[in-house]
Amino acid sequence: MTEYSFLTTWCLEAPRERVWDAIWESGRWPDWWRGMVASELVVEGDESGVGQVVRHTWRSKLPYDLDFEMTTTRVDKPHLLEGQAKGELAGVGRWRLFEEDGATDDGPVTAVVYEWNVQTTKRWMNLLAPVARPVFAWNHDWLMRNGGEGIAGVLGCRLLAPGLI
Helix axes 16-24, 123-155, angle to 10 degrees: 140
Average per-residue pLDDT for the chain: 95
Domain locations in the chain?
A: 2-161
The per-residue pLDDT for range 74-127, each reduced to its tens digit, is: 999 999 999 999 999 999 999 999 999 876 777 899 999 999 999 999 999 999
- Interatomic CA distance for residues 18 and 67, integer angstroms: 27
- The top-level CATH class assigned to 2-161 is alpha beta
Cis-peptide, bond into residue 78, ω within 30° of zero: yes
Over the stretch 133-157, which tens digit does the pLDDT of each residue have?
A: 999 999 999 999 999 999 999 999 9
CB atoms closer than 10 angstroms to residue 14: 23
- DSSP-assigned letters across all residues of 58-116: EE-SSS-EEEEEEEEEEEETTTEEEEEEEESEEEEEEEEEEEEEEEETTEEEEEEEEEE
| Segment 35-49 mean pLDDT | 97
- Alpha carbons 36 and 24: distance in angstroms, whole number: 15
